[in-house]
Each structure stands twice: as C-alpha cells, then as structure tokens.
Amino acid sequence: MKSDNTIRETLSTYMRKHNLSFTQFSLISDVNAGTLSRILQGTKPISFRQLELITSAMELPEDFLFESYVEECFAFTTSMRRIRPFIFRCAELNRLDLIERMVHRLLDDLSYTSVLFDVAEALFASEHRQAAAIIYTQVSEAERFQHSERLAICRYRLFQISLTDDLEENLKAALLFENYVSRLDEADQLDALKDLMNVMITAHKWKKVDELAVEMLRIEYERPSTERKPKRPFYFYILDGWLARSTVCEELQDFDGALSYVSKCERAELWIRENDEEARRYIHQFSEWATANRYLYRVLSGEAEALGEYADFVASRPGEIFIALGYMVKAANRYDFDIDHILDRFPKQIPSIEMEGKYGPYNNSVMKEKIVQFYSDLGVYRFKRGHSNAINLILDGLNVSVYINSVRNMVNCLTLFEMDREWANEDEKKKFKLLSSEVNQINAKKHLVILGYE
C-alpha cells in the first residue's frame, strides 16, 4: 500500500538535488540500498529508526518529518513496533501534539487500549508525565463505562500527575479521584490512600484524613493477598496510619487519643518481623516521631516546662527543628508563653520552600502549608511583643499563601493584616495592596470577590 505523506517526496527530492544513487545515500544514511528502493516505491513501511537515519542524513531537524510519520504509521499495517519508539521520542522532544494525534487515531480501534496503557505506564516510569497524561486521559475515556482496574490506575496516575503547589487544585483532583481508589489492587490502594491523605492534611479535612487512615489500616490488618507490593514495606502503612490518626486527634485537641496512637508507633519493634536496614530505619524514625509528639502534646496542653524539653530533644535533629518551632509558636500564642529564648536558640531555622527530615523529604505541599502557618503565627507572636518585623511576617505568610493558592491561609493572613493595619508602614501597605490584588485575581477566576482591601 502506498503512503501519501511527504517523507518519500522529501527523500526523493533530496536524492535528485544531490544526484545521489541508492547506494550513495545508503553510505551516508546507513540504511540498506535495497530497503531505500522499496521505501521510495511505497512497498515497504518506514521504521522509526530508519526515519531517524534518513532525517539525519539529509541534515534536517530531528522532528522535521514527524508529522508525516504519524500518517506513515497508518498507511501500512499498524505496528506498535514502529509506533512505540516514535511516541517515546516525541515525549523526549515535547511533541505532545503528535502523541495526542497518534493516540486518538489508534483508539479508533479499542483493541489498542491495553497496549497504549502499557506505553503510558512506561512513560510515567521514565518521568515523561505530561506525555503519559495524554494517553491516560484517552484510555480512561475509552474505558469510562468499564468498572476496570485499568481505568482506576489511569485516574490514579492522572491524580498523581496533577499534583502541584496549588493546594486548591490538588483538593479538586483528590475529590475527582477518591471514588476510584477501591477499584485499585490493594497494594496500589495503600499508596493512593497515602497520597490522598497528604492532600487532605493540607486542606485541613481532618474527618477525611481519619477515614483514609482507617481504610489504610483495614487493608493492612487484612493483609493483601495480592502479589504486587506497594512502594514501601507493608508495615510502613500501619505506622503511617497510626501517625495520621494521632494527627487528627491532635488537631481535635484529643491528646489522650493522640497518645494512644503514638504509643503503638513506639512499640513497632515488637511486631515488625523484618530486621533489615530499612526496617530498623523506619522503626527508629517512627519511634523518634512518637517521642517528639509526646513533648508536643504536653506543649499544646499548656505545660510551659515542656517547651525546654521539646527544644532540647529536637536540637540534635536539625530536620525536625522547624516543625517543632511552628508548634511552639502556636502554643505560645494560645497560652501566652514567652519563647524568645527558644527562637534565639535556633536563629538559622528560617522556613524554606523544602525542608527534609533525616530519612527523606516531608511531603512538599504539607511543608509549604506549614511554612505559611509559621509566618502568620510568628507574626502574631512578634506583634504581641512589639517587634517591628511582625507585619512583614504576616505579609510573608500571605505571599506564600498566594503562591500555593491556599484560600484558608489567604483569608487568615488578610484578616491578621487588617486587624493590625494601623501599625503598618507605607512600604508594608504597598506590599499588602499588591498581594491582595493577586488574591482578588485568584478569586475572580472562581467568580468570587473579596472587597475592602485597598
């Protein structure tokens, strides 16, 4: 069957212009002369590797003939041996438009759904996420009436790909995905529940966090029969479920309930059978978190003497100092503690856009939301004590709130500034006006209007 695309026309024109025979062009392209002849006659399809060699020999841009190659792939018997490497190279060159065209054409025949899903998984694994998202979207559309695990995985991958620094958009993505979790393999459900919990924590949806943690623990207690393994050891999800439930209790000021869950984390070595380096690391990490949380609950309960003990504990754990300072500032505002000496003890623990614990980064979105809370809480603390930088701290909190699109924190910072506006200097008022304008722009997109900030 003859192809009506321009690859052959381009090649034929080039050879005539440079007066090249098949043998001569074969020498500069490394494509067999007989193969070249059959290609030009239109009796042989062009493999993607041959397209690359021919394009290079003609000294054309690498993707010069890619649009024509989409047609080439359907001019003969459709073969994934030609299409798969083409899709991957398009992903590498960010030619997402061609991937979309190719996948749309292929899915005219739904028998390609499975193989395209496999291609998407390979792209996802190799960090070509936007390219993978195009395929996941079209595969999920093709399977929208199927109660299939493949559809659920597509929706899970799209959820993972969509996660950014924008907390409101992350919440929307989580709400769209959560109904698909139960269709996943149980091992994948554990990771999906963990990802959903992180989003719900930043949204302060504590009831939902608890529901997700309970479901994670249920799956673990029943121990999946699946041969698949989650990203982390199975025992991790039990420990993380307990830690999540302790956080929910903490937020509800149920410190006895919180202690009951951290006590379970402290006893992990009694029931975790594994004795490798990874197991020892997790046992140690969760045990340390449990110890830190014991100090934390005493501080949040109003025990002033626990402040120094908590500070001493985290002093040798640099990755945990910022988290502890955030809680101590919050407690200081609630109980009117003086913690200047503790803040002076850790002058270099200034919030940064990403902060790491000893065994890996905290979830990025969770940390950024904590940074906003720290700025606003510290601003309140400093203001009560007459510090000149108090207003700027609140503005820093508002700035990060806008960056991560956290409506809850934007409203909090806007309110704090308005309460203390009379103490702001002209530069701070100008900065506030610019930031409040950005807030209004964000809300205008949601058909909301915030008035009164001038």
Show which of 290, 321, 350 is a domain's final residue: 290
- Work out the pLDDT band at 225, boundaries 50, 70, 90: low
Q: Are residues 169 and 271 in the same domain?
A: yes
Quick check: is 199 in a domain? Answer: yes
Distance between CA atoms of residues 341 and 384, nearest Å? 16
CATH code, domain with 253: 1.25.40
- Tens digits of residue pLDDT in 248-307: 999 999 999 999 999 999 999 999 999 999 999 999 999 999 999 999 999 999 999 999
Does 384 lie in the same domain as 284? no
> Which percentage of the chain shows pLDDT scores above 90?
82
Total structural domains within the chain: 2
pLDDT tens, position by position, 74-126: 999 999 999 999 999 999 999 999 999 999 999 999 999 999 999 999 999 99
Q: How far apart are the first and last CA of the chain?
A: 70
- pLDDT given at position 360: 38
pLDDT digits (tens, 9 = 90+) for 333-388: 999 999 999 999 998 775 643 444 333 345 577 888 899 999 999 999 999 998 88
- Residue 272 forms part of a structural domain: yes
> Per-residue pLDDT for 215 more than 60?
yes
In a domain, 190, yes or no: yes
Question: pLDDT tens-digit profile of 422-449?
Answer: 998 999 999 999 999 888 888 777 654 4
Flag whether 69 is in a domain: no
CB 313 within 8 A of CB 295: yes
Q: Is the pLDDT of residue 5 over 80?
A: no
**Nearest one of 291, 247, 294 to 268, comparing CA atoms:** 291
Per-residue pLDDT, averaged over 24-47, amounts to 94
Domain boundary among 250, 275, 290: 290
Q: Are residues 267 and 371 in the same domain?
A: no
Q: Is residue 221 part of a domain?
A: yes
Residue 251 pairs in a beta bridge with none
Residue 246 lies in a domain: yes
Query: Does residue 264 sit within a domain?
Result: yes
Residue type for position 8: R
Q: What is residue 363's predicted lDDT score, i.e. its pLDDT?
A: 59
75-80 long-range contacts (CB < 8 A, ≥24 apart) are 75/1, 75/2, 75/3, 75/4, 75/5, 75/45, 76/1, 76/3, 76/45, 77/45, 78/106, 78/109, 79/45, 80/112, 80/115, 80/119
Q: In this predicted structure, what is the pLDDT of residue 9? A: 93
Rounded CA separation 24/29 (Å): 9
Q: Which of 290, 306, 334 delimits the end of a domain?
A: 290
pLDDT band at 1 (very low <50, low <70, confident <90, very high): very low
Please give the backbone phi and psi of residue 170, each rounded to the nearest 5 degrees, phi first. Answer: -60, -40
Same-domain check for residues 286 and 374? no
pLDDT at position 350, please? 59
Query: What Å distances lie between residue 347 and 1, 176, 193, 343, 358, CA to CA?
Result: 74, 42, 37, 6, 20
Q: What is the pLDDT of residue 139?
A: 97
133, two tokens = 């998202």
**4 Cβ contact list (under 8 Å, min separation 6):** 71, 75
Average pLDDT over residues 53-62: 96
Average pLDDT, integer, range 49-72: 96
* Host domain of residue 191: 164-290
What is the chain's mean pLDDT, rounded? 90
- The number of residues making up the chain comes to 454
Distances (CA, A) of 255 to 211, 300, 411, 420, 432: 19, 9, 28, 33, 37
pLDDT in tens, 311-337: 999 999 988 999 999 999 999 999 999
pLDDT value at position 387? 84
- Classify residue 405 by its DSSP letter: T
- Residue 161: which region, alpha, beta or left (left: phi > 0; alpha: psi -120 to 50)? alpha
| φ/ψ (deg, to 5) at 135 | -75, -45
On the question of pLDDT at 145 being above 90, the answer is: no
Residues 191-210 pLDDT 10s: 999 999 999 999 999 999 99
Does 392 map to a domain?
A: yes
Q: Per-residue confidence at 159, pLDDT binned at 50, 70, 90?
A: very high
What is the number of helices (H) and of strands (E) in the chain? 23, 2
Mean pLDDT of 388-393: 90
What pLDDT score does 224 carry?
59
**pTM given for the model:** 0.86
At 2, the pLDDT band (50, 70, 90 cuts) reads very low
Render the burial of 282-299: b for 16+ CB within 10 Å, e for the rest.
bbebbbbbbebbbbbbbb
